[in-house]
Amino acid sequence: MLQTTSPDTTSQLRIAVPMSEKRARTTYAITRAARELAADKGYDEFTLDELAAKAGVSRRTLFNYFDGKLEATLGGGPQLTQDDIDTFLAGGPTGEFVDDVGALALGVLRATAEVPLDRDDWALGQRCFRVNPKLILAAQEQFEGFAEGIVELLAQRAGRSTDDVELHLLLGALAVTFKISLDRFSESADGRDIADIFLDNLRTLRRLLR
């Protein structure tokens, strides 16, 4: 069974690179500030100087972390660690395909947020995108490329073609389950964290589809 990813089959995936605590917190502060400005003023209405001031960094520092305003507002985008990829391709962590795909989805959640995001962070992100449709389109483009890489991983693990409709249905079901879980986490009094809500909803989905 495959142990590692090849350059050709996972070209769409972003592999998370460990950050120092300082870099992780500065990255978080910049994206948090950009989303606050975009939500309050509109994405097109704030400047990089305003962003730097709000994040508490210099303009030069901004460009050490992000290529521009769009990247700062979107954040780093979905990522996976090489360890999570290798574990999945080796048949883990449980040996049950659907459960392992769910674990891979949680791996994306862990790798994408170096600083754990709380309910307010997720709610801010949703408000930011809701009032700035161009950001939704940009985020969709970002996710679509990553999703292609995930399908390639699923196909490698299952020994199937990337055109297999079942793999695309599974990924779509997971994406919808995560969106519903995020809505519940952000907008309700549910005290559980996003990972627990997602896993519970995934179990519910599997029960409904039996």
Mean pLDDT, residues 9-32 taken together: 86
Neighbouring C-beta atoms of residue 54, cutoff 10 Å: 16
Inform me whether the pLDDT recorded for 7 exceeds 80. no
CATH of 76-208, one of 1.20.1050.10, 3.20.20.70, 2.40.30.20, 1.10.357.10: 1.10.357.10
Inform me whether the pLDDT recorded for 31 exceeds 80. yes
> Are 73 and 91 a contacting pair, CB within 8 Å?
no
> Are 135 and 152 a contacting pair, CB within 8 Å?
no
State the pTM of this model: 0.84
Name residue, tokens 């947020």.
113
Please report the pLDDT score of residue 10 as a whole number.
52
What is the tens place of the pLDDT at every residue in 69-107? 999 999 988 999 999 999 999 999 999 998 999 999 989
Q: Which burial class, exposed, middle or buried, applies to 1 when counting CB atoms under 10 A from its CB (0-12, 13-18, 19+)?
A: exposed
